Amino acid sequence: MAGIYPEPIPKRDDIDDLMKSLDTIPLFMQDMPEEDNVAMEALQSLVHDGTPDEIAQNFKDQGNNYFKGKRYREALGFYSQGIDSTPTDPILLEALFCNRAACNLELKNYGLTLKDCSKALTVNPKSSKAYYRSASALVALERLEEALDCCNRCLTFDKDNAGVKTLRERATKLKEAKDKREREKEERLQREREEKLRLRKAFNDRGLVVLANKAGPAENPYEAHFDPEDPSGQTMIFPVMFLYPQHATSDMISHFVEDTPFSSHIEAMFPPQAPAPAWDTNGEYVAGKLVVYAMTYRKRLLKTGKKMTLKDVFQAGREKPGDPVDGLELKDGVLTFVVLPKGDAEKKWIEEFKKSRDSN
C-alpha cells in the first residue's frame, strides 16, 4: 500500500545541490567554466573535429534543430558558425546562407535577410529558396516591384514553385493596392494645389492682403472657402471676428457669406428685445445703436454702413490707382472688424486708434 502515497517533496537544499551538480555537466552548463574542464574541452574538440564540410554540416544540423524549436537566434548562431567553417561544398554553403536568411526573416532583420540571400545566389544563381526569402523580405519592406522581380526570376527556371507563385500573387495585390493609394493621394494633393491657387486668385481679386502669424499658424478651425450652394462657384464665405474693445472680448462668425449685409449679423446677435450679453453691463450693444469699423493693411479706418456687405467693404478697402498696395487684412484666414456703440465710446476709440497709428 505504501506505493500509492506520493513521494515526499525534496527539500530546498537538496534541489540546490542537484542544480549545482548538473552545472558541472557540459550538456547542462549555463556558463562557460573559468577553470579547465576536461569534459568541456573534449566536447568542443568534437564540434571542430573533421573536415570543414563535416564541421559545417554539424553546425547546420544543430541549427536546424533549434530552428524547428523556433529558437531562431540560437539557430542563426549555429548557421553562422557553419559559414565561418568555410565549407567547400557549394550545396552546403548555399543551404547555410538560405537557412540563416530564414532566421533573419523570422527575426524581421530584413536587410540581413537580403544580404544572405544575395550570397546564396552568388553560390547558386538558381537558388529558389534564396529568391523566395528575398521576395518575402522585400514584401515586408513594401519594396513590391523588387519582390515581383525576384519571383519572376525564380519562376523562369522553377516554374512550378507553388510558394513563389503564391507570394507573387500576394505581392501583385499589395502593389495594386499601394499604387491605388498613391494615385488617390496624388489626385487629392493636386486638387488641394488647384484649390489653393483658386483661393489665392479669389483673395487677389477682392483686394485682400493675406498675412500669416509670425509666431506660427493660429488654432483656427474655420477657413475661407467657396460657397457650395452657389451654382456659379464664385461666392465666398469667410470666418469673421467681431471685436468689442471696450470689453476686451470678441465673437467669431464662422460662416459670413460675402454678399450678406453686416446688419443681418448685428440684428441676429444684438436684437433690441433680447437680454444683453453678460459682458455688456450697460446694455449698450443693441442693433441700430452700433457701428462697425474695418481697418486696412495701411491702417485706414473704414466705417461700414448697415446695408454694406463684405464685398462692398473689400472694394472700399482697395488702394487708389497709383497708391501703395492696400486692402483688408486676412490674417490667419480671418477677417477682423471692430463693433462699437455710437457716440462717446466710438469717438474715444477712434482717437486712440489714430494716436496709436500716428505714433508708429
Specify the pLDDT at position 81. Answer: 97
Name the residue ranges covered by the structural domains of the chain.
48-175, 225-359
| Cα(131)–Cα(304) distance, integer angstroms | 75
**Residue 47 pLDDT > 90, yes or no?**
no
Q: How confident is the model at residue 15 (pLDDT cuts 50, 70, 90)?
A: low
For residue 24, give the amino acid letter: T
Specify the pLDDT at position 57. Answer: 96
Backbone angles phi, psi at 246, to 5 degrees: -60, -35
For the record, the C-alpha cell of 133 comes out as: 526569402
For residue 10, give the amino acid letter: P
Tens-place pLDDT, residues 271-281? 998 899 999 99
**Global pTM?**
0.62
| Cα(279)–Cα(281) distance, integer angstroms | 6
Specify the pLDDT at position 1. Answer: 44
Q: How confident is the model at residue 360 (pLDDT cuts 50, 70, 90)?
A: confident
Which of 126-135, 211-220, 349-358 is the least confident region?
A: 211-220
The stretch 175-194 carries a mean pLDDT of 96
**Residue 225 pLDDT > 70, yes or no?**
yes
The stretch 213-221 carries a mean pLDDT of 66
Coil, strand or helix: which one is 255?
Answer: strand
- Report the run of H or E that residue 337 belongs to, with start and end: strand 335-341
Those residues with Cβ within 8 angstroms of residue 283's Cβ, 6 or more apart along the chain or in another chain: 276
Tell me which residue of 88, 16, 92, 28 sits closest to 58, measured CA to CA: 92
For residue 305, give the amino acid letter: G
Specify the pLDDT at position 5. Answer: 47
| Cα(274)–Cα(16) distance, integer angstroms | 88
Tens-place pLDDT, residues 279-317? 999 999 999 999 999 999 999 999 998 799 999 999 999
The answer to whether the beta carbons of residues 89 and 53 sit under 8 Å apart is yes
The answer to whether the beta carbons of residues 113 and 131 sit under 8 Å apart is no
How high does pLDDT run on average in the chain? Answer: 88
The answer to whether the beta carbons of residues 224 and 199 sit under 8 Å apart is yes
| Cα(316)–Cα(205) distance, integer angstroms | 13
For the record, the C-alpha cell of 352 comes out as: 486712440
Q: For residue 115, with 0-12 CB atoms within 10 Å meaning exposed, 13-18 middle and 19 or more buried, which class applies?
A: middle
The stretch 183-192 carries a mean pLDDT of 96
The stretch 152-159 carries a mean pLDDT of 96
Q: How confident is the model at residue 43 (pLDDT cuts 50, 70, 90)?
A: very low
Q: Where are the alpha helices (DSSP H) in the chain?
A: 12-22, 38-47, 52-68, 72-84, 90-106, 110-123, 128-140, 144-157, 162-205, 262-269, 310-317, 344-359
The answer to whether the beta carbons of residues 113 and 76 sit under 8 Å apart is no
Specify the pLDDT at position 2. Answer: 46
**Residue 53 pLDDT > 80, yes or no?**
yes
State the residue for C-alpha cell 573535429: 49
State the residue for C-alpha cell 450652394: 229
Specify the pLDDT at position 18. Answer: 56
* Multiple choice CATH, 48-175, 3.90.226.10, 1.20.120.430, 1.25.40.10, 3.40.710.10: 1.25.40.10
Q: How confident is the model at residue 45 (pLDDT cuts 50, 70, 90)?
A: low
Instruction: Write out the CATH class of domain 225-359.
Output: alpha beta
| Cα(65)–Cα(72) distance, integer angstroms | 10
